[in-house]
């Protein structure tokens, strides 16, 4: 007795058939490369928990951005590691701050070939490592004092040439405060990519090595989202869009594919997924041990994030994947 062959089976017989019938694809256009730039170092410094990722000098950053632009990756997102940290994160909006200097230098290097995104947060710049101004009495992050700082940071980043600012601190009203400040400063064309559904995740561990921003006390659970919740993500995202977010993000990506799908379904603005440091580190660590094929797993991760509904993916794999896609 023979059974009829299923249609899906007929359409997956050869690579060309699979490409033709595929619902989702991953292209270089879907990638955003996160880059770290550190003040006061002479040579790039490897990040132990993120093999292949470095803290750049201004010079090595420029070279990396050139290579990324030549691969036709459309965008980078910059994180700064300042030489000096204090309670208010004063270096975050310094005119000669590490990210402001980097933005000017990259604009000169790549022109409009790369979209320059600047992460707008305080944790890399505060001596306590929290994403905002900490109230001396309650030891909690003061939401309203913090969003004023984010607005100041955004303006200096736009002054330095950022195409997009990306507030990542999960403070209430941050998008509205930043939009108002950008407009008042004449930066009406600077866009906002809001980290709208950002979860309090243990998957950020390696990033905190790279950005030297682990909190010195407490954790971020009072301002970042609880992993138990997904409906709340729609609330957060709706408010960000109402305040003026041009694009929204779900972060991390893989453990939150349901959230990406729900956000995609509910809103029409571009949706980003952030394949975060811990997701990258897990793939790298297992591959180093020979336990899995890191390149293949990486591509599978990124494709899954797109299949869930993301329009683009922030990923430390961006350069390697682009090289493979061009090969
Ligand atoms: C905050 C910020 C973090 C990440 C991006 N922006 C760290 C945090 O919230 O603790 C994490 C990204 C990653 O893990 O790759 N400025």
Distance CA 106, CA 59 (A): 10
In contact, 56 and 44? CB cutoff 8 Å? yes
Q: How many helices (H) and strands (E) does the chain have?
A: 12, 10
Reference 163, options 93, 111, 89; nearest CA is 111
Span 119-167, pLDDT tens digits:
999 999 999 999 999 999 999 999 999 999 999 999 999 999 999 999 9
Distance CA 195, CA 153 (A): 16
Reference 24, options 218, 286, 246, 300; nearest CA is 300
End-to-end CA distance of the chain: 45
Ligand 1 site, residue 119, Cβ cutoff 6 A: yes
Cα-to-centroid distance, 161 and ligand 1 (Å):
22
Cα-to-centroid distance, 277 and ligand 1 (Å):
8
85 is known as an active-site residue: no
Average pLDDT of span 106-129: 97
Instruction: Single out the catalytic residue among 38, 63, 85, 198.
Output: 198
Q: For domain 25-326, which CATH number applies: 3.20.20.70, 3.65.10.10, 3.40.1010.10, 1.10.10.10?
A: 3.20.20.70
The 3-state DSSP class for residue 48 equals coil
Distance CA 167, CA 196 (A): 9
192 to 12, 109, 174, 180: CA distances (angstroms) = 40, 23, 11, 11
Average pLDDT of span 288-299: 98
DSSP state of 112: T
Distance CA 167, CA 93 (A): 13
Q: DSSP characters for 284-312?
A: HHHHHTTSS-HHHHHHHHHHHHHHHT-SE
Cα-to-centroid distance, 183 and ligand 1 (Å):
26
Please report the pLDDT score of residue 4 as a whole number.
82
Span 1-28, pLDDT tens digits:
677 888 888 999 999 999 999 999 999 9
Q: Which atom of ligand 1 is nearest to the CA of 316?
A: 15
Distance CA 28, CA 30 (A): 5
284 is known as an active-site residue: no
In contact, 114 and 69? CB cutoff 8 Å? yes
Q: Where are the domains of the chain?
A: 25-326
Burial of 270 (0-12, 13-18, 19+ CB in 10 A): middle
Distance CA 247, CA 78 (A): 17
Average pLDDT of span 45-67: 98
Average pLDDT of span 110-115: 98
Nearest CA to ligand 1 atom 16: 121
Please report the pLDDT score of residue 7 as a whole number.
85
Distance CA 151, CA 183 (A): 11
Please report the pLDDT score of residue 1 as a whole number.
66
Please report the pLDDT score of residue 284 as a whole number.
98
Please report the pLDDT score of residue 283 as a whole number.
98
Q: Report the chain's mean pLDDT, rounded to a whole number.
A: 96
Asked if residue 242 has pLDDT above 80, the reply is yes
Please report the pLDDT score of residue 113 as a whole number.
97
Cis peptide before 252, with omega less than 30 degrees from 0? yes
Q: Which is more confident, 199 or 4?
A: 199
Bridge partner list, 206: none
Asked if residue 177 has pLDDT above 80, the reply is yes
The 3-state DSSP class for residue 56 equals strand
Cα-to-centroid distance, 201 and ligand 1 (Å):
9
226 backbone φψ class: left, alpha, beta (φ>0; ψ -120 to 50): beta
Please report the pLDDT score of residue 100 as a whole number.
98
Average pLDDT of span 33-45: 98
Reference 273, options 26, 23, 32; nearest CA is 32
Asked if residue 281 has pLDDT above 70, the reply is yes
Nearest CA to ligand 1 atom 5: 168
């Amino acid at each position: 007795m023979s059974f009829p062959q299923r249609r899906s089976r007929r359409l997956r017989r050869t690579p060309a058939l699979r490409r033709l019938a595929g619902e989702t694809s991953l292209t270089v256009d879907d990638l955003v490369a996160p880059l770290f730039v550190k003040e006061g170092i002479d040579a790039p410094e490897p990040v132990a928990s993120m093999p292949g990722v470095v803290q750049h000098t201004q010079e090595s950053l420029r070279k990396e951005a050139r290579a990324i632009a030549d691969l036709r990756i459309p965008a980078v997102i910059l994180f700064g590691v300042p030489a000096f940290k204090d309670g208010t994160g004063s270096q975050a909006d310094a005119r000669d701050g590490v990210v402001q200097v980097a933005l000017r230098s990259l604009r000169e290097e790549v022109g409009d070939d790369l979209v320059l995104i600047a992460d707008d947060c305080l944790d890399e710049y505060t001596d306590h490592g929290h994403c905002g101004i900490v109230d001396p009495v309650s030891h909690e992050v003061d939401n309203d004092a913090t969003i004023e700082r984010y607005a100041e940071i955004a303006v200096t980043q736009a002054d330095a040439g950022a195409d997009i600012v990306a507030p990542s601190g999960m403070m209430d009203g941050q998008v509205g405060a930043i939009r108002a400040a950008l407009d008042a400063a004449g930066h009406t064309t600077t866009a906002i990519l809001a980290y709208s559904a950002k979860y309090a995740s243990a998957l950020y561990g390696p990033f905190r090595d790279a950005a030297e921003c682990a909190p010195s006390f407490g954790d971020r659970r009072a301002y970042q989202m609880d992993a138990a919740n997904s409906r709340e993500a729609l609330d957060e995202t709706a408010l960000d869009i109402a305040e003026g977010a041009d694009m929204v993000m779900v972060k991390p990506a893989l453990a939150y594919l349901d959230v990406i799908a729900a956000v995609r379904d509910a809103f029409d603005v571009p949706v980003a997924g952030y394949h975060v440091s811990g997701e990258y580190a897990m793939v790298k660590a297992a591959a180093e041990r020979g336990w899995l094929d890191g390149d293949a797993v990486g591509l599978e991760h990124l494709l899954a994030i797109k299949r869930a509904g993301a329009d683009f993916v922030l990923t430390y794999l961006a350069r390697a994947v682009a090289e493979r896609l061009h090969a």
